[in-house]
Structure formats: C-alpha cells, structure tokens
Amino acid sequence: MDAEGRIVGSDSDGLCPRFLLGRAVEGCIWRFGRGVPDTLVVVVAKLAGREPGLGERAAGSAPPPERLAAIERVFAREGASLALRRELVEHEGVVVGELWIGV
C-alpha cells in the first residue's frame, strides 16, 4: 500500500489488483489499486461501504457479497472490466474470512 492506502503490489502473476474486498465476521474492508480514478473510487466505495461482514456465516460457505455485481457494473461502465477471484483467508487452519480480488 502507498501513503494514500492504494494497492501498489502485485500478485504471483505480476498483476496489481484494481479492487479488493475483504469480508470477515468482524466486518468488511475494501481497497483500490493506485491506477483507479478517484471518480470511480468514490462510487464503488459507497457500494462497498454498505456491504456487511460475514456475521455468523461461515466464510467458506457464505454467498458472494450482496453488492459485488453492482461494483462490477460500475467498473464496466467506466470501461474497466473487473475479473474477480475469491480467496479464503485462514488462521491456524481455520477459515476466518475471504478476499474478492479484482484485476
């Protein structure tokens, strides 16, 4: 992350995520890649900010985030398609959350 909280690192494929949404029992976080325009960040952050955490649902079997399709549409409207993948987050062998990573 840079000083503004934007993603600057890349994954094992050398791709820097444009969007990341993380969910756990405690709540939800979201981050944007450094190259995402501020106008897009404002709109998507409003959607992501309304996304609930996992609550009592098990991370491994929870349905996709409620606003994920709307977030994908916003990126598409701006000409920035978003290929999303889901990764489970484990701690000591127990699934504690999930990441939705968009490149």
Q: Is residue 61 part of a domain?
A: yes
- Asked if 46 contacts 89 with a C-beta cutoff of 8 angstroms, the reply is no
How many structural domains are present in the chain?
1
Helix (H, G, I), strand (E, B) or coil at 57: coil
pLDDT tens per residue across span 36-68: 999 999 999 999 999 999 888 877 788 999 999
pTM score over 0.75: yes
Q: Is residue 14 part of a domain?
A: no
Q: Is residue 53 part of a domain?
A: yes
Query: Which domain does 95 fall in, by range?
Result: 19-102
Q: Is residue 41 part of a domain?
A: yes
Q: Is residue 66 part of a domain?
A: yes
Q: Is residue 84 part of a domain?
A: yes
Q: Is residue 45 part of a domain?
A: yes
pLDDT tens per residue across span 4-37: 889 987 766 677 899 999 999 889 999 999 889 9
Q: Is residue 56 part of a domain?
A: yes
Helix (H, G, I), strand (E, B) or coil at 102: strand
Q: Residue 91 belongs to what H/E stretch?
A: strand 84-91
Q: Which two tokens stand for residue 77?
A: 């409207």
Q: What is the pLDDT of residue 46?
A: 97
Give the confidence band of 89 by pLDDT, cuts at 50, 70, 90: very high
Q: What is the pLDDT of residue 2?
A: 85
Q: What is the pLDDT of residue 100?
A: 95
